[in-house]
Structure 1
Amino acid sequence: MTSETMIRPAATLTRQPLQVRAKRTASDGVVELELVHPDGAALPGWQPGAHIELHLPSGLSRQYSLCGNPDDTSSYRLGILSAPASRGGSSYVHVGLAENDILEVSGPRNNFELVLAPEYHFIAAGIGVTPMMPMLEEAERQGAGWKLTYMGRSRSSMAFWQELADKYPGRIDIRPDDEFGFPDLGALLGDPRDGVKIYACGPEGLLRALEGICAAWPAGTLHLERFAPKEPAAAPAPAISFRVKLALSGMELEVPAGRSIVEVAEQAGAPVIFSCMEGTCGTCETRILCGEADHRDSILSDEEKAANEMMMICVSRSKSDVLELEL
């Protein structure tokens, strides 16, 4: 998983300097990085599905899924796709970054946690395989049934496929488009049934198709991680002004139609932490104490949005005249 954003200088994020211990080619267009603490100190722990955020010298911030072993606290492993249409983050990592360089890193954070289940079907396309790699290990550890369907343009573009095939012989369904074409997702998933969790990461077209197919499955079956903000099926309701109470800061603020909660709270001096400003990274997730949120993020599931317990204050707004937050 990757998403590219600009870090605003006023944001306060816990960072640490990490050193590039190794940089190598993982496939056509993908490099693999190993990051370590310069002094050899242990790194913060994480669980499958977590990502870290790299803060680049240009001011760009990028989030990348961790694809190593969560039990290894000596290093972080990343797979990073070259994205020519990006704003320069991936090109810096591919071209400008060298072994032994120091990067500022924050995290890990996890918006894609692996829910305990007796059976999993993991579906990855391209660089979307990275969050799946530690999930496979965890599913093995749990003794759960699982399979991975891994898609891509060609084997040469599909990072880590040989490593996975060697590690789990007969368990990985490698489906490059130039050999198989685009798969029949409905046939791959089979009939709807209880006890299965489907985890998917890849391009928006794949995720949209899975959402349509899994609408017939039990609620909570499908878990997705997106590279970029989800395109709404319909235009969102027009933004209107509302008031927000910050319970911990003792403030009540007006949020006008053209501004976000993050922007208004930051200007008032509240201790907000944020990054992407597009509802994909989860940094600004905040608990709702009172009121109903107008959820516009690409992280929370439909069930989580309906529960109305948490919201991403960088993009989401309020359906209530007043919204009270634990902030």
Structure 2
Amino acid sequence: MEKINNVTEFVFWGLSQNLEVEEACCVVFSLFYVVILLGNLFIMLIVYVGKLFKSPMYFFLSGLSFVDICYSSATTPKMIVDLLATSKTISYEGCMLQLFVVHFFGCTEIFILTVMAYDRYVAICKPLHYTTIMDQDRCNKMLLGTWLGGFLHSIIQVALVVQLPFCGPNEIDHYFCDVHPVLKLACTDTYVVSAVVTANTGSITLGSFVILLISYTVILVSLRKQSAEGRCKALSTCGSHIAVVIIFFGPCTFMYMRPDTTFPEDKMVAVFYTIVTPMLNPLIYTMRNAEVKNVMRKLWGRRVFWEANDNSWK
């Protein structure tokens, strides 16, 4: 069947139809986005200034912070602007680009979290071989693999959607272009496409989650053989990662591990993995990490020293 595309733009319904609610959400999410930018940039700065990137854990953490900034920036700025706009529109090309970027960085984040779990497994279960297994060259290849995996996943998603005809209506019951809401607008049978999309996203989400569960189960079992001090240190590091995994994978599983159906709650659930998780990541890793705190103290000490010198010259 020849593809017919009468739709040149899509219209978002947004988070709410209530003007007062949208104004309140605009203020709240603007603050959240500032925290996302400053928090994740701060983590990247800490890792660079403290030369922590030589450690695989912090090398992947800085990569996670960069992905969080990009991932949230794909949806949050436009959502904030749309909350105060009377017409919430996006061009067809812009919608496809947003869909690609969201799935690209979202999938990359899933793979980075999985790689970080593997790093913790090697560090705790095979400490004598850690430096050999997780050398810098291998870490670079693993990080590159997460980006390539995210790109491959995203290009498949977009390729499945762009070949569908859209002839109206063009209203999306969401605040950004995601696969399931967009598929509902296609004027053709999308059963096969929906099944492939669900299999693609679902297999990545479920597969990564299973790997994470297995990794941390093995880690927790192996901790019984370590000293009390070693257990506390390992649990502190792994606890941060487990918290991030639960917050991120819970909403993702709800959204993508199901057939091509949409619910009114989808928009609020999406807020968790596009805004809340990128905002909480820096807080969780900073507050529970001793080395990051030490670098922060050193930076603060330098600042106090510079201010003291400046005052002495005045």
TM norm structure 1 = 0.23
Q: Which has the higher contact order (CA 8 A, sep 6+)?
A: 2
* TM-score, with length taken from structure 2: 0.24
Larger Rg: 2
Which one has the bigger helix percentage?
2
Which is strand-richer, 1 or 2? 1
